[in-house]
Structure 1
Amino acid sequence: MVPKLGMAATQDGDQTRNVSEIPAAAISKGPASAESQLLASPKDDVESSASSPATSPSFPEGGWGWVQVVASFFLLFCTAGPQWSLGTYVRFYTAEHTFPGATYFAISFIPSLCNLGFPLFGPFAGKAADYFGPRRAALVGVAIQVVGLILASFSTEVWHVLLTQGFLFGTGEVLIYLAFVNAISQYFLKRRGMAIGIAISGSGIGGLVLSPVTQIIIDAVGWRWSLRILAIIVAALGGLCAMLYLARVPSGMEIRKRGSQEGAKKPARTRIFDLQYFKDAWFTILYLSGAITGFGYFIPFSYVVAYATSIGITSSSASLILGLMNGAGACGRMFWGIAGDRIGHVNAFLLCQFGAPLAILLVWPFATSFASTAIMGMLFGFFAAGFISVMPLVMTTLAPDSSVAGRLGLQMSSSLINTLAGPPIGGALLDANTSFVDGVKVVNYLPTTLYGGSLLLVGALPLLWVRWKAGGGRWWSKI
């Protein structure tokens, strides 16, 4: 018997089902949606008792669902890929003094603001994706990103790129991310971990390809035109992929419109933030863990390119290291999604939480060549990938079914402060440890490395209690 921390209160005969197997779960990082309410209707509960979730008509487990997966893969390739290759621009802006007087601290706010959209707008964007449907949400996200990139190409001050390439581009990605989770979750239940893992690996592959390609384009036509070319790619490929989204259940807007026409009562409004979730100790610990680990998560992505050039690696090879890190992340997103289906999503998440900081602390301080730095990057990318791809599945395992979406939306807010402050703190440490020897700039990266790895490790430790509690004191059970 699996402990009730990870179980729902429904039974099929004598067999208790894990909440991740209940068709009522509509997995999206936003408040409980009209879609999830529809799937959780009493009729579905009755039907599910007669058939397993894998064969439930609510989840075809394939068909047009694979089109959603492929569309999501390429959508994330061109929209999230640039986000994971920002280290190339950070190195270029600092090394080439693109914005005179800008320090590591100032420029490091670009990735911070780019990722700020998730904790700041995640719950609201989740509600928007549920209400308007995945296609409309994704198209709006693509449009916001295109505008951000075009405006960034005309920047003359560092704060211009902070607001455009950073904040505006990242805000568009929030809508896109939540739209893809919404779309795929309507087609898959038993294979959801694999489907989401395959789709989200597109962001890692995008980072793998775009990191070195961005450097090549910058060298060929300059950084301004590199941003404009990227905007064209996002508009063309991203727009096409978003148009392929086809919702299987009515969006909140459609339900409200239909109910208004038929004179039915409007669906009840849902809370965006429900603080009652913090009454569960496991959720509070998961939230605090996210608040701590976020300080170190983006350090390798932000500074590995600059570090590589500081030890004598060429800028093109340094960008390739970032690409390899993202490529390993793409493999990790697929691997951890599939592994979670087999060994348990909480178990997979725990392995990722400890593997990532150990890669930083045990390998990065001793990386003095292209090979060793690339190994560190790939190890970190592989384990860090699970932070993103497995978290929604962890929540479906531990949370009561009706609160999954709301808890995911609230969980995103845990990274509000660390996303904004994490990379800049690392940049401030670099500024404080920069010196000039015979007119040559020398930067000591060790304090920044230890800062990132240590906070990741500290944030992972409390999760041991969550795993122990969820497993009922049995460490080898599938949770």
Structure 2
Amino acid sequence: MGASMTDTLHDRHEKSPSASSTAFGDFLPPSVDSLDHEKQQAVSVGAPSDDWNPTWDDAHSWLVVVGCFIFSAVTAGWGLVWGVFQPFYQNGVLAGVPTPLLSFLGSVAGLCLTAFGGVFGKLADRYGYRPFLLAGSVIWMAGILGSAFSTKLWHFFLTQGVLQGISCAMVFPIVVAVPAQWFLKRRALAIGIVVAGSSLGGAVGTLLIRIMLTRVGQRKALVIYSCIDAVALAIALLLVKERRQPGTRRAPILWFDKSFLGDPVFWSLGACFLVTVFGYLTPIFFLPTYTKEKVPGISDFNAAFTLTVLNLAAAVGRTIIGFIADRFGPVNSLFLVTLLSGLSQMLVWTFVSTYGGIMGFAVLYGFNCGCFISLTPAVAARIYGPSRLAGLSGMLFMFNMPGNGAGAPVAGALLKATGHSWRTVACIMGSLQVLGAIFLLYARFKRESKIIAVI
């Protein structure tokens, strides 16, 4: 009986969510039915309700969420601040650098996250989370301090691009997976809060960086911000703890699952994420610049505030979408938010030219645009099941890479080639997101042919 109980608990641990079970850094909690099955399975074998069984949504569990939220806000949130840096650099230390190249600079960190997040997630599963959180924090500080003293383009590519991107790849996949070890009943809420941290961090960072760049300049602003980050990361390191049953062995790493390659449903998902990510970053990178052009005389702060509003709306949207997906299905939810995100670019952004109208677009786009990030592993788990989620998530990282690396630069090149025709840029980038929703339909109806169904 004792051996059976131990084996069962070990099996449950091996099937539990992990850091590598994330696509673009986000983790989907299992459905309510699967959670009930876990509890029934534990009872049926006489498993004790010990500290390992993740059914306690207690104060300590929420402290872990706070730590993960801080990590998410500091690291992943930084990528959403680039809309403030780009015009500042273009008018200052990097004057003369083409707009597409500057946009690519802002994409490097996200490119590194999608390229290496799956690798570091799997390594962290194998060797433990804390060493990677600590190393990621140190590299993060090196990147932000290095960018404070950067003067040439390649300096910024190294510091604000590669170093901070590697740091995000080490940290973000872990912190969005850790809460799944501490929660059962409120797992969706906990994960949603952590994911929303990146958007809230981008919103707060946008305001702080814009104010400090204007008042004290690049070097002092980034040094001050690095001090704030150092304190925040130290607190987060104290709060985030991995939860493992004592005596369990860590599973070996499965780097690549070839069985997906022959499945058209997999390529339907891949095509959806590929084109969706291509259109995703354009408003995030260019909305302050767009506002400055359309509203003459507006202050830098008010122009940057549009990006703050967009990120705040994204924080709300990412939190809410988990509950919607639980009720209506993650695939249905992904189709809806991807479609609305693209249509808001095509039908709203193309026609707004007042400050109030731009703010309205920021709210609408922000609420929908980032939800595909948190829904990616949800869809994968719903279509293929949780047992293969780690390998599939790592492969889906590859489809996000082109859009993260080239989406915003392509938009910048289009803007320049069309004589600053924002309508052309918005229509093309929005249509890519609509196309992504269309590509998803094959996977949706291949797995569930009924039009009205929870999937």
Q: Distance in 2 between matches of 1:52 and 1:286?
A: 40
Q: Distance in 1 between matches of 2:85 and 2:96?
A: 16
TM (norm. structure 1) is: 0.83
Following superposition, the deviation at residue 52 of structure 1 comes to 13
TM (norm. structure 2) is: 0.87
CA contact 2:107–2:408 (8 Å) conserved in 1: yes
Change (3 A) 1:250 1:125: farther
Quick one: percent identity of the two aligned structures? 30
1:473 to 419, 426, 449: 449
Following superposition, the deviation at residue 363 of structure 1 comes to 0.5
1:319 to 301, 304, 309: 304
Following superposition, the deviation at residue 159 of structure 1 comes to 2.2
Give the aligned partner of residue 383 of structure 1: 368
What secondary structure is seen at the aligned counterpart in 1 of 2:94?
coil
2:401 to 412, 416, 419: 416
Following superposition, the deviation at residue 221 of structure 1 comes to 0.6
Change (3 A) 1:133 1:386: same
Give the aligned partner of residue 74 of structure 2: 78
The yes-or-no answer on 1:141 pairing with 2:136 is: yes
Give the aligned partner of residue 173 of structure 2: 178
What secondary structure is seen at the aligned counterpart in 2 of 1:108?
helix
Q: Distance in 1 between matches of 2:392 and 2:144?
A: 32
**1:283-313, Cα deviation, whole Å (9 max, x unpaired):** 2211121111121111111111111111123
RMSD: 2.7
Amino acid at match of 1:71: G
The count of residues paired between Structure 1 and Structure 2 equals 425
Q: Distance in 2 between matches of 1:62 and 1:298?
A: 35
Change (3 A) 1:22 1:383: farther
> Which structure 2 residue ranges, 5 or more long, are not aligned?
1-11, 23-37
Following superposition, the deviation at residue 268 of structure 1 comes to 6.5
Give the aligned partner of residue 328 of structure 2: 343
What secondary structure is seen at the aligned counterpart in 2 of 1:186?
helix
What secondary structure is seen at the aligned counterpart in 2 of 1:368?
coil
**1:82-125, Cα deviation, whole Å (9 max, x unpaired):** 2111110012112x142132110111112210101122112211
What secondary structure is seen at the aligned counterpart in 2 of 1:320?
helix
Amino acid at match of 1:474: K
**1:370-404, Cα deviation, whole Å (9 max, x unpaired):** 11111111111111121112222222222233211
Summarize the alignment of residues 42-81 of structure 1 with structure 2, pairs less than 5 Å apart: 47-48=41-42, 50=44, 58-63=53-58, 64-81=60-77
Amino acid at match of 2:89: Y
The yes-or-no answer on 1:276 pairing with 2:253 is: no
2:415 to 430, 438, 442: 430
Q: Distance in 2 between matches of 1:122 and 1:52?
A: 38
Change (3 A) 1:372 1:199: same
**1:23-46, Cα deviation, whole Å (9 max, x unpaired):** 934143359xxxxxxxxxxxx899
Q: Distance in 2 between matches of 1:163 and 1:426?
A: 23
What secondary structure is seen at the aligned counterpart in 2 of 1:174?
helix
Q: Distance in 2 between matches of 1:330 and 1:210?
A: 14
Q: Distance in 2 between matches of 1:189 and 1:477?
A: 25
The yes-or-no answer on 1:107 pairing with 2:92 is: no
Q: Distance in 2 between matches of 1:399 and 1:317?
A: 45
The yes-or-no answer on 1:305 pairing with 2:288 is: yes
CA contact 2:20–2:118 (8 Å) conserved in 1: yes
1:242 to 215, 237, 240: 237
Give the aligned partner of residue 371 of structure 1: 356
**1:411-443, Cα deviation, whole Å (9 max, x unpaired):** 111112222111111111222234xxxxxxxx3
CA contact 2:278–2:404 (8 Å) conserved in 1: yes
What secondary structure is seen at the aligned counterpart in 2 of 1:222?
helix
Change (3 A) 1:22 1:450: farther
What secondary structure is seen at the aligned counterpart in 2 of 1:477?
coil
CA contact 2:341–2:365 (8 Å) conserved in 1: yes
Give the aligned partner of residue 28 of structure 2: none
Summarize the alignment of residues 80-99 of structure 1 with structure 2, pairs less than 5 Å apart: 80-94=76-90, 96-99=91-94
> Which structure 1 residue ranges, 5 or more long, are not aligned?
1-20, 32-43, 257-266, 435-442
Following superposition, the deviation at residue 476 of structure 1 comes to 2.3
Change (3 A) 1:51 1:456: farther
